Amino acid sequence: MQYLEQMFADSLEFSQDITVDDYESISQAIFDKFEALPTTLGANDNPRGSLVSCLLRTAGHDFMDFRPNHEHEGGSDGCINFSDPDNGGLQECLTRHGIPELFEEHRAKVSLADFLVIIAEAAMARAHGTEE
C-alpha cells in the first residue's frame, strides 16, 4: 500500500452531519486506546508516547504538504505517500494502534482529513492530562 487513502478506503471527501457526540466518540476511543497501553517505560519503549507521536506525525504530515502554485494547495486532505522516506513507520504505527478499524466505525460521517485532526487533538489532550 502506497497511500494513506488506500488504508482508509471509501472515505468521504467532506465530513457530513458530524455532531458533537460523533466528535466526542472518536476522542473517547483515542482516550481509551491511550489508557489501555502500559505506563511502564523501558529503554526506547514508551507505549503511550508511541501512540501520541504516531497520531501527531500522521496529522502533521497530512497538513504539511502545502505547495504554492499548485492546483491543490495542500493542507489536511487525508493524502500521505507511505513510500516517501519522511513518512516512514506511519503505516505500521496506524495499523498497530487499530486506527483503520476506528476510522471504519466513523467513516460514514467524518472525512479522513477531519478524522486525522480529531484523533491528533484527542491524543494531545489526553497526553497533556485533559479529556476535553
DSSP secondary structure string for all residues of 55-93: HHHHHHHHHT---TTSSS--SS-S--BTTSGGGTTHHHH
Alpha-helical runs (H) found in the chain: 4-7, 20-36, 47-63, 90-96, 99-106, 112-128
User: 71: pLDDT confidence band, cut at 50, 70 and 90?
Assistant: low
pLDDT of residue 46: 86
Q: Where are the domains of the chain?
A: 19-36+46-128
pTM for this predicted structure: 0.81
pLDDT of residue 73 exceeding 80, the answer is no
How deeply is 68 buried, as exposed, middle or buried, from its count of CB atoms within 10 A (0-12, 13-18, 19+)? exposed
CATH 1.10.630.10 assigned to 19-36+46-128: no
Those residues whose C-beta lies under 8 Å from the C-beta of residue 73, and which sit 6 or more positions away, are: 66, 67
User: 131: pLDDT confidence band, cut at 50, 70 and 90?
Assistant: low
pLDDT of residue 70 exceeding 90, the answer is no
pLDDT of residue 63 exceeding 90, the answer is no
pLDDT of residue 72 exceeding 70, the answer is no
Q: Are the C-beta atoms of residues 58 and 120 closer than 8 Å to each other?
A: yes
pLDDT of residue 84 exceeding 90, the answer is no
Question: Phi and psi dihedrals of 51, rounded to 5?
Answer: -60, -50
Q: What is the spatial distance between Cα 87 and Cα 61, in angstroms, rounded to a whole number? A: 7
pLDDT (average), residues 21-35:
94
Instruction: Find the angle CA(27)-CA(96)-CA(9) to the nearest 5 degrees.
Output: 70
pLDDT of residue 119: 95
